[in-house]
Amino acid sequence: MKPDQYVVIGNPISHSKSPAIHARFAELAAQQLDYQGLLAPLDGFAKTVHDFVVAGGKGANVTLPFKLEAFALATELSERARIAGAVNTLKFESGRMYGDNTDGIGLVADIVRNAGVSLRGKRVLLLGAGGAARGALLPLLQEQPATLTIANRTLTKAQDLLEQAKSLSTSCDLQAYCFADLQQPFDVIINATSASISDEVPPLADTVFCKTTLAYDMMYAAAPTAFLRLAASQGALCRDGLGMLVEQAAEAFALWRGVRPPSAQVLTEMRAALQASQE
Ligand code: NDP
């Protein structure tokens, strides 16, 4: 019998690590499935999804630039997808198209489970107010930090996200700032800006870091990003977004298959492969 078919849809797509991650999950969890990268034309996301569903596809991950279109296309949404306004996971079942957003829950799983850093009662700084920051908002608040500060280059976007956060939590102390006004230290700083892609770092005062700060960059690369280099120079603990990538994939896999894959093992293997690629 043909195995169940899954894809990650994006443009471009050839760089995606998702096919390798899901193939390894399937192997370790003894699941029969096929998972491929699928390039959609920039103006053809809905048709690409439709054709895949007609061909019997069971589910899809969605990556840049289609997360907003996937949100619009889904016929049902999880609460976290509704709040994020973006979908990275689709499940096709009995004519339904269920949309979820596993990015934020993957981030929290990597910080709490893999790094062993609790967010409860902590002072958390979220840098950025784009799609990744929106996806992280609800899962972060569900961990009950003492404070959540949102800082963004464009202050009005941080303020919009702050209003959304206020509607989700009454117990957390919530603030929005521009980068230059941040002076106080934080326990956890999450870089959800795309500055790292161009090896830039938001203009942060040294005083936001202390020796016990966890500095987390959602981006990952073989070498530390500019943000992580800055954090390390201030003595902070550093972690990149490879674990977030693996954990968001694990959440999607669990949604589709009803089985939780051994994500920590796959993360260890992916880390080794990333380091080997640098040597
Ligand atoms: P968006 O384009 O939606 O948002 C980009 C954000 O970065 C905005 O807040 C923008 O500010 C800010 N920004 C861009 N350039 C700079 C700069 N030079 N200095 C300061 N701020 C800047 O991107 P996403 O939210 O989708 O992605 C953000 C990051 O998260 C990317 O690095 C991406 O790779 C990573 N990511 C990682 C995932 C993982 O699994 N590890 C999953 C999803 C995302 P402004 O509003 O002012 O334009």
Residue pointed to by tokens 């230059």: 180
pTM for the structure as a whole:
0.96
How confident is the model over 246-262, as pLDDT tens digits?
A: 999 999 999 999 999 99
Classified by CATH at the fold level, domain 104-240 comes out as Rossmann fold (3.40.50)
Ligand 1 midpoint to CA 272 (Å): 26
**Can you give the three-state secondary structure of 169-218, one letter per residue?**
CCCCEEEEECHHHCCCCCCEEEECCCHHHHCCCCCCCHHHCCCCCEEEEC
Pairing mode of beta strands 89-93, 59-62:
antiparallel
Q: Is 99 helix (H, G, I), strand (E, B) or coil?
A: strand
Mean predicted confidence (pLDDT) in 164-189: 96
Q: Which of 66, 194, 244 to mutate to test the pocket of ligand 1 (most atoms within 8 A of CB)?
A: 194
Q: How far apart are CA 24 and CA 100, in angstroms?
A: 22
Residue 250 Cβ inside 6 Å of ligand 1? The answer reads no
Q: How far apart are CA 232 and CA 201, in angstroms?
A: 13
How confident is the model over 59-96, as pLDDT tens digits?
A: 999 999 999 999 999 999 999 999 999 999 999 999 99
Sorted by where each begins, the domain ranges of the chain are: 4-101+245-278, 104-240
Residue pointed to by tokens 């674990």: 243
Please count the CA atoms within 13 angstroms of the CA of 255 that sit on its side-chain side: 27
How confident is the model over 101-125, as pLDDT tens digits?
A: 999 999 999 999 999 999 999 999 9
For the chain, state the CA radius of gyration: 19
Amino acid type, 218: M
pLDDT of 278 over the 80 cut:
no
Where does 4-101+245-278 sit in CATH, by number? Answer: 3.40.50.10860
Identify whether 157 is a catalytic site residue: no
How confident is the model over 34-52, as pLDDT tens digits?
A: 999 999 999 999 999 999 9
Separation of CA 176 from chain center? 21
Amino acid type, 149: T
How large a percentage of the chain has pLDDT more than 70?
A: 100
Ligand 1 midpoint to CA 130 (Å): 6
Residue 7 in tokens: 């894809």
Mean predicted confidence (pLDDT) in 184-199: 97
Sheet holding 237-240, edge to edge: 173-177, 147-151, 123-127, 188-191, 214-217, 237-240
Domain pair 4-101+245-278 / 104-240, same fold: yes
